[in-house]
Amino acid sequence: MSQKVGDNDHYKYVQNFECPFFPCHEEIDLDDFNCLFCYCPLYMLGKDCGGNFRIIDENIKDCSNCSIPHRISKRDFIQKKLVENVIPLTALKMKNKKDH
């Protein structure tokens, strides 16, 4: 277990050794490898995700070089981005639903 994750933080990471793709990013040290966000929850933020992506064919977002969602050390970054971007949208949607 990574030293970045304390005894009370076990819910912040998981490693799925039985996944046929594990590890999907071999450049990440296993002490920092996290399968919690197997699919990146920040993908929907497009160019504002904060990750290492490239755009191919003018409109396809290629995130294959990004390891942010697979690092234990980046969990708090992901959580912060979700709080800043997704929660306000959800609140707005709920407000609009009440208004109609």
Structure tokens at 9: 């933080």
Question: Which pairs from 40-44 meet CB under 8 Å and 24+ separation?
Answer: 40/66, 40/68, 40/69, 41/69, 41/78, 41/82, 41/86, 42/68, 42/69, 42/78, 42/81, 42/82, 44/86
33-55 mean pLDDT: 90
Handedness of CA 17, 21, 26, 28 (dihedral sign): negative
What band does 5 get if pLDDT is binned at 50, 70 and 90?
A: low
pTM summary value: 0.69
Instruction: Say whether pLDDT at 69 is over 50.
Output: yes
Residues 40/66, Cβ–Cβ less than 8 Å: yes
